[in-house]
Amino acid sequence: MNTQKGFIICVDDQPEIVDVLLMQLENAVGHTCEIEIAESAEEALEVLFELEKMGGVLELVISDEIMPGLQGSKFLEIVHQHDPDIMTMLLTGQAGLDDVVYAVNHAGLAKCLKKPWEYEDLKRMVGELIEKARMNRRNKRLAQEVVAEKNKAEAIVHSMTDGILVTDRENRIILVNEACVKILGRAETELWDTRIVDVAELKEIMQLLAEASQRSGDAVSQELVLNPSAGSRTTRYIVAVAQTLRDKQGQPFGVVTVLRDVTKEKEISAMKANFLSTISHELRTPLTSILSTFELLLQNSLGDLNKDQREFVSLSKEQSEFLLEMIENLLDLSALESQQIGLVKEPIALQAIAVETSASAQKIAEAKGLGLYLDVEPNLPKIMGDKRKIERMLNMLLSNALKFTKQGEIRVNIRQHPEAGVHISVSDTGIGIAPDYFEKIFDKFFQVDNSSTREFGGFGVGLAICKAIVQAHKGRIWVESELHKGTTFHVVLPLTTN
């Protein structure tokens, strides 16, 4: 037997009928099917089971109705119960309507051919049934593959340590994994098919889901605070990241939200912030006294200094001022970590701040042979914000530009933003930043060159502080840069922080 082809079994107790069937079927479908013959239902069943042992695929059984022993309709019922994917066809000569109806109802009868038949009718019917049998098997195989992939995907989702929450168009929960159940402290049955608004722990992400559904492809994130409940005695911090699910036509059909418990990270961050704050405070007091002593020495208040002594004291004073600046940055970072950057709001004229900060940076620029240019749009509207913090942010951006620019120029431009607020840009012709670092440079302690022999000083908190100040004012900050050509930092501040 050739198991590479499908098989057809023909059953009839009349040898001449079987011979005709065999000849006609070999002519019609012999190139795609092997034909097996039997003169009784019992013999046909033996052939069927033998085919299965050999790995053959039986696609069609053609049986006469009136036969000694087991009737055709009863035989086809056994075949159908054994494998519903096998197509069945009944040959009728003396068979009555009741036999045909029985075969249809119990044997899944697909076709009925009356004796004597025309070759073309047989060829057409058999061709249709073989095609249908193969299609059914393909569909069954595909369905099994889909189920297997679905099970695999569900296993992956449920094994993830981050919580997964999927909602439909009506914001009803249609999927949660075990991590999500653990984070929310709810049973899966409580969450399934429940609207987000009805889950107290998830009410805060309604706005997140609405924003995600309006985005074409970008994910949106939000931090949630879960207050102590019956299942947990401590406050937990959750970062939720949501993205819209779309079909092949680009139509949204739901939102997937990833919930990550960052409580431990928050606790570690708070411990680090407290440590930095304590150390910084302890260092600032004696350092301030040291700087005061250097001032007295340079003013000859404690006696005259010779040239070498004055040079040594001046150098020590500069290094102490640099150290004090680092400590101030650490204190600001500590406030950043504990989210304690408060704003003393007042109407601010950015032009005055820009002129003042640029004047301070002008001397350094001239010493390095750099051009420093300020361009402020006339009649710029005032913004509501913290004057000291805006000054600090602008000073840091200018210091950053001066540090990384060896030749060329630095430009500060301030314009009214076309949509809302004010747009500040600080451009330089310095070393530039690779695109891979555009987001990372705003992280705390991050530096593009982390080697111990790096050329430029600092310890990577300036831009993190700038970002915190801008965000405290409900603004945006980003960078554009090209290696070896220069960098531009953009800041957009709203007219009010409300």
Residues 110, 89 contacting (CB under 8 angstroms): yes
Q: Phi, psi at residue 475, to the nearest 5°?
A: -105, -170
> Which is more confident, 454 or 132?
132
Q: What is the pLDDT of residue 449?
A: 64
Predicted TM-score (pTM) of the model is: 0.50
Gap between the Cα atoms of 183 and 164, Å rounded: 10
Higher pLDDT, 200 or 478: 478
Under the banding of pLDDT at 50, 70 and 90, the label for residue 255 is confident
Q: Which residue has the higher pLDDT, 138 or 232?
A: 138
Lowest mean pLDDT, pick from 21-35, 114-128, 315-329, 401-415: 315-329
pLDDT in tens, 159-172: 888 988 898 888 88
Token look-up 């000291």 returns 388
DSSP string across 377-435: -TTPPPEEEEHHHHHHHHHHHHHHHHHT-SSSEEEEEEEE-SSSSEEEEEEE-SS---G
Q: Does 337 or 308 have the greater pLDDT score? A: 308
Tell me which CATH homologous superfamily contains domain 161-261: PAS domain (3.30.450.20)
Instruction: Give the Cα separation of 186 and 82 in Å (integer).
Output: 45
The domain 6-147 belongs to what CATH superfamily?
Answer: Response regulator (3.40.50.2300)
Show the CA angle centred on residue 334, arms to residues 333 and 337, nearest 5°.
85
Q: Which of the four pLDDT bands, split at 50, 70 and 90, describes residue 412?
A: very high
**What's the pLDDT score for residue 98?**
63
Judged against a pLDDT cut of 90, whether residue 282 lies above it is answered with: no
Residue 346 has pLDDT above 80, yes or no: yes
Instruction: Please give the pLDDT value at position 106.
Output: 64
Say if residues 333 and 461 touch (Cβ distance below 8 Å).
yes
Edge-to-edge strand ranges of the sheet holding 371-376: 371-376, 409-416, 422-428, 486-493, 476-482
Superfamily of domain 345-493 in CATH is Histidine kinase-like ATPase, C-terminal domain (3.30.565.10)
Whole-number Å distance between alpha carbons of 315 and 298 = 11
Q: Which of the residue ranges 74-83, 244-253, 322-331 has the most confident prediction, judged by mean pLDDT?
A: 74-83
| pLDDT tops 60 at residue 3 | no
Residue 277's pLDDT band, with cuts at 50, 70 and 90, is confident
- What are the residues whose beta carbons fall under 8 Å from the beta carbon of 409, sequence distance 6 or more? 370, 371, 372, 373, 428, 429
Residue 491 has pLDDT above 70, yes or no: yes
Average pLDDT value over all residues in the chain: 84
Write down the pLDDT at residue 482. 92
The predicted model gives 445-465 an average pLDDT of 68
Contacts for 287 with CB less than 8 Å, ≥ 6 apart = 320, 323, 324, 327
- How far CA 278 is from CA of 273, 286, 291, 338, 472, in Å, comes to 9, 14, 20, 13, 24
